[in-house]
């Protein structure tokens, strides 16, 4: 028997969550289909005026990404909480923050990454120029992990509550506003001929901040919820 | 060794117990007894650090468990009411993952052997959702075979188990105690461990 390392634990948790997601594919698909539906409804609702669509594209895509990431947050810890796995995770001899980071990463790979990959296709519906599409993808790549990480705090705090889903959105959505502003701002900057570097740097900074603080905060929130 | 001094615990406004003191030395086994709702599970969960005691202290080898934290967790194993197994995963995957979470990398052969000893031959690869309640409990209990923890905290380990499995658990406990392990558990079923004196703690 070998003792596992901290990195080994991280890989174990990510792999476990990915295997579980693959065996419950419906959960993954709902998030993605919701994203596609919401984004596709806008051109139908607003009408086919290219100028207007082009102008609102980034905002619509970002808001839809924000909303669809809320959909899957409730499931982040609840299944593990109900079957007792979370108890065992808290008793793991390694840091709970690392375990939480693993779960956040897996959550992003399952619910955030597909949105990033789908976004350019949807952007074409809005006639977005190639350059804007590039910035949109980079922005989403930097921003969606932040949504998963900040969302995890809310998911941990609302664990085991009735009607936790609505409360979760109310808690988390306001905290995600900076991500939305800089993400959509980056695309706007490029389409009006400016550089997106400042917006993207700020998104990167948010990502780093979230990476450092959210696993620890989430771990503390989980300890409170388990009492 | 585990030392509990002057422990008090309450759920909501209801005081479950207070002034509880005991110590558990290597090679000893203790059964926590009491009626439903007398705080057995709360006591075990307090020992795990899930619940904060209102008063008192829990010490492991002379140091408070709140300060030891991860050093304590690497030496204890807790098995609660919930099996902590995933329906979608096979028995083998479940066992290897839960061993991994407790800090032990388990290879496939060892995991298979443990499951076979628990009487799950030919069921290792089935998703656990098709197993019966007792078989799922056996999957959870297989962790006892692959763990090197010194302190076992078992909350109703015998639920849903048949006679054969109960005998197996009794022999497992005897083996663990012979290796200077410690066990604290609750059960409403008769359980005899050969060769050791069973201590008991009554909550009322």
- B130: pLDDT confidence band, cut at 50, 70 and 90? very high
CA neighbours closer than 13 Å in the CB half-sphere of residue B195: 10
Rounded CA gap, B114 and B144, in Å? 9
Residues with pLDDT less than 50, chain A: none
Question: Which residues lie below 8 Å from residue B114, measured CB to CB, with a gap of 6+?
Answer: B95, B142, B145, B146
Q: Token match 């400042």: residue?
A: A198
Rounded CA gap, B202 and B204, in Å? 6
For residue A85, give the chain B residue with the closest CA.
B84
How close are the terminal C-alpha atoms of chain B, in Å?
A: 25
Output the pLDDT for position B143: 92
- B148: pLDDT confidence band, cut at 50, 70 and 90? confident
| pLDDT tops 90 at residue B183 | yes
- Chain B residues near residue A19 by CB distance under 8 angstroms: 88-89, 93
In a domain, A212, yes or no: yes
In B31-107, alpha helices (H): 40-48, 65-68, 70-73, 91-101
| pLDDT tops 90 at residue B96 | yes
Å between A164 CA and nearest CA of chain B: 21
Rounded CA gap, B165 and B173, in Å? 12
- Chain B residues near residue A87 by CB distance under 8 angstroms: 48, 50, 78, 80, 82, 84
CB atoms within 10 A of CB B97: 24
Output the pLDDT for position B105: 86
Pairwise CB contact (< 8 Å): A4 & B100: yes
Domain boundaries, position A200: 6-226
Output the pLDDT for position A74: 87
> Counting every residue, how long is chain A?
227
DSSP assignment, residue B62? T
- Chain B residues near residue A79 by CB distance under 8 angstroms: 86
Rounded CA gap, B36 and B32, in Å? 12
Total domain count, chain A? 1
Residue of higher predicted confidence among B68 and A184: A184
Q: pLDDT tens for residues A75-98?
A: 899 999 999 999 999 998 888 999
In a domain, A39, yes or no: yes
Q: pLDDT tens for residues A170-204?
A: 999 999 999 999 999 999 999 888 999 999 999 99
Q: What's the whole-model pTM score?
A: 0.91
| Token pair listed for A140 | 């989403």
Residue A88 in contact with partner chain B when CB distance is under 8 A: yes
| pLDDT tops 90 at residue B11 | no
- What are the b/e assignments for A91-108, b being 16+ CB within 10 Å? bbbbbbbbbbbbbbbbbb
Output the pLDDT for position A164: 81
In a domain, A1, yes or no: no
Output the pLDDT for position B197: 85
Output the pLDDT for position A202: 96
Residue A224 in contact with partner chain B when CB distance is under 8 A: no
Q: Are B153 and B77 in contact (CB under 8 A)?
A: yes
User: Which of A12, A20, A79 comes nearest B100 by C-beta?
Assistant: A12
Most A-contacting residue of B65, B83, B103 (CB-CB within 10 A), to test interface: B103
CA neighbours closer than 13 Å in the CB half-sphere of residue B145: 21
Q: What is the ipTM of this complex?
A: 0.89
């Amino acid at each position: 028997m070998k003792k596992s390392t901290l990195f080994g634990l991280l890989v174990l948790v990510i792999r476990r969550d990915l295997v579980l997601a693959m065996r419950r594919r419906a959960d993954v698909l709902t998030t993605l289909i919701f994203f596609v539906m919401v984004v596709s409804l806008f051109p139908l609702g607003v009408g086919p005026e290219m100028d207007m669509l082009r102008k609102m594209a980034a905002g619509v895509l970002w808001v839809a990404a924000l909303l669809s990431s809320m959909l899957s947050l409730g499931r982040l810890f609840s299944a593990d909480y109900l079957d007792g796995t979370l108890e065992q995770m808290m008793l793991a001899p390694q840091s709970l923050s690392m375990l939480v980071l693993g779960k956040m990463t897996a959550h992003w790979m399952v619910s955030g990454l597909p949105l990033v990959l789908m976004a350019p296709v949807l952007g074409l519906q809005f006639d977005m120029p190639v350059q804007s599409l590039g910035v949109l993808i980079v922005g989403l790549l930097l921003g969606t992990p932040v949504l998963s990480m900040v969302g995890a705090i809310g998911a941990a705090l609302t664990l085991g509550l009735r009607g936790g889903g609505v409360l979760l959105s109310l808690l988390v959505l306001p905290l995600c506003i900076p991500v939305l502003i800089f993400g959509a701002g980056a695309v706007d900057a490029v389409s009006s001929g400016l550089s997106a570097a400042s917006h993207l740097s700020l998104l990167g900074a948010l990502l780093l901040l979230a990476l450092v603080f959210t696993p620890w905060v989430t771990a503390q929130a989980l300890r409170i919820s388990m009492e | 060794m585990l030392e509990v001094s002057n422990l008090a615990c309450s759920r909501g406004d209801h005081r479950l117990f207070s002034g509880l003191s005991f110590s558990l030395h290597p090679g000893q086994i203790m059964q926590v007894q009491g009626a439903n709702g007398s705080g057995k599970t709360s006591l075990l969960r307090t020992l795990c650090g899930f619940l904060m005691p209102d008063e008192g202290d829990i010490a492991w080898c002379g140091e408070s468990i709140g300060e030891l934290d991860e050093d304590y967790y690497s030496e204890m194993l807790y098995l609660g009411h919930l099996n902590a197994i995933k329906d979608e995963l096979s028995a083998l995957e479940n066992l290897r993952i839960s061993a991994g979470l407790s800090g032990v990398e388990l290879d496939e052969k060892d995991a298979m052997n443990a499951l076979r000893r628990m009487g799950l031959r030919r069921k290792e690869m089935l998703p656990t959702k098709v197993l019966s309640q007792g078989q799922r409990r056996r999957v959870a209990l297989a962790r006892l075979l692959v763990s090197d923890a010194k302190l076992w905290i078992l909350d109703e380990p015998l639920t849903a188990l048949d006679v054969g499995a109960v005998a197996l658990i009794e022999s497992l406990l005897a083996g663990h105690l012979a290796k200077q392990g410690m066990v604290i558990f609750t059960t409403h079923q008769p359980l005899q461990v050969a060769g050791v004196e069973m201590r008991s703690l009554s909550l009322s």
